[in-house]
């Protein structure tokens, strides 16, 4: 069972990661491409980025499914924008 705390647009997800020690904890990092490039250009100081951590018992399978669903949703969004533009 899960509780939805907040909603974020899918296109703001920049990274989905997990650690080898605790693969059940998945981290979703959010931001824009501009923020990511600005953060990389700075030498040692990193700006705090927004992120959510989620505990998933079957993390490997869940991560694959989440990534596939995000890609599918983004492709549908792109196709919708293309049909509206033309």
Q: Contacts for 4-10 with beta carbons within 8 Å, 24 or more apart?
A: 5/52, 6/52, 8/50, 8/52, 10/70, 10/73, 10/74, 10/77
Stretch 5-27: mean pLDDT: 83
Share of the chain above pLDDT 90, in %: 0
pLDDT tens digits for range 44-54: 444 557 888 88
pLDDT tens digits for range 63-72: 788 888 888 8
- Is there a contact between 26 and 18 (Cβ–Cβ < 8 Å)? yes
Q: Contacts for 66-71 with beta carbons within 8 Å, 24 or more apart?
A: 66/16, 66/26, 67/16, 70/10, 70/13
Is it the case that residue 59 has pLDDT exceeding 70? yes
> pLDDT band for position 33 (50/70/90)?
low
Determine the pLDDT at residue 50. 86
Give the CA distances from residue 78 to residues 40, 72, 74, in Å, rounded to whole numbers and listed in that order.
Answer: 27, 10, 6
What is the pTM assigned to this prediction? Answer: 0.59
């Amino acid at each position: 069972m899960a509780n939805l705390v907040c909603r974020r647009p899918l296109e703001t997800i920049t990274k989905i990661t997990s650690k080898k020690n605790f693969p059940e904890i998945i981290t979703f990092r959010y931001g824009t491409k501009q923020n990511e490039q600005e953060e990389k250009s700075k030498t040692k100081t990193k700006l705090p980025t927004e992120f959510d951590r989620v505990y998933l018992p079957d993390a490997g399978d869940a991560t694959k499914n989440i990534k596939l669903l995000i890609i599918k949703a983004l492709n549908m969004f792109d196709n919708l924008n293309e049909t509206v533009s033309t």
